[in-house]
Amino acid sequence: MRARLRAEMTEEIKTTARRHLATEGANLSLRAVARDLGMVSSAIYRYFPSRDDLLTALILDAYTALGGSVAAAEGAVDRADLAGRFLAICHAVRDWALANPHEYALIYGSPVPGYVAPTDTVPAATRAVTVLGGVIEDASAAGLLRDDEALPPDAAQDVARVGALIAPHAPLGPLSRALGSWLHLFGFVSFEIFGQLKNAVDVPGPLFAQQMRAQAVYIGLPTA
């Protein structure tokens, strides 16, 4: 019972912190959060040992939310439609980022000064890219991807290392292009969220859709 109250309070702190994050930005004020909750700042330290730990909790939540959103979107597509699954992932990332820009900034923006990502954020962080790996792996298993590109040995090693984690049987050429698509995807979303596209592209949606469709073709994923 006490434990349940504690869990509820912890969640309540996180949600109001999220709200403050959305209105104020990354410099989250513990005291302001405490004020909103009608309590004093020191009380928050009963639940989070420091401000960084609160941020870490929010980061972890953001990663799992993004990962879940991506996984859900990809899971709703016909398994045989590999390009469709890829595009679902891309749009899920962008849609989530547009809906939660401050949480996106929290995880994909510049890291907080002294902040070091605890190792327990790693599994949550890699969830989204693992979904992409599943698509590539399925396409590879279906014999749709061929090892059509000769990579330099050192680059091949990098690609193979990532591939071992997300798509162990995929040929390195398409895998390298899929990795590039991932970077392309986040480059686009980051530029859009962080305002780097201002005064250049006013309605980025169509451009995004076209770019990602081209990436699906470039990787070699067949359209259903």
Partner DNA sequence: GCATACCGAGAGCACTGCTCTTGACAGTGA
Partner DNA sequence: TCACTGTCAAGAGCAGTGCTCTCGGTATGC
Residue numbers of the site for a second copy (CB under 8 A)? 24-27, 105-106, 108-114, 117, 122, 125-126, 149, 151-152, 154-155, 157-159, 161-162, 165, 176-177, 179-180, 182-188, 190-191, 194-196, 199-204, 206-207, 209-211, 214-215, 218
Nearer to DNA, 29 or 211 (CB): 29
201 contributes a contact to DNA by CB under 7 A: no
Nearer to DNA, 16 or 29 (CB): 29
160 contributes a contact to DNA by CB under 7 A: no
Q: What angle do CA 120, 124, 125 make, to 5 degrees?
A: 100
Neighbours of 189 (CB within 10 A): 22
Nearer to a second copy, 10 or 126 (CB): 126
* 172 sits in which H/E element: helix 172-193
Q: Are 171 and 146 in contact (CB under 8 A)?
A: yes
112 contributes a contact to DNA by CB under 7 A: no
Span 23-42, contacts to DNA by CB under 7 A: 28-32, 38-42
Q: Coil, strand, or helix at residue 219?
A: helix
Neighbours of 206 (CB within 10 A): 9
Nearer to DNA, 47 or 186 (CB): 47
Q: What is the Cα 58 distance to its own chain's centre?
A: 13
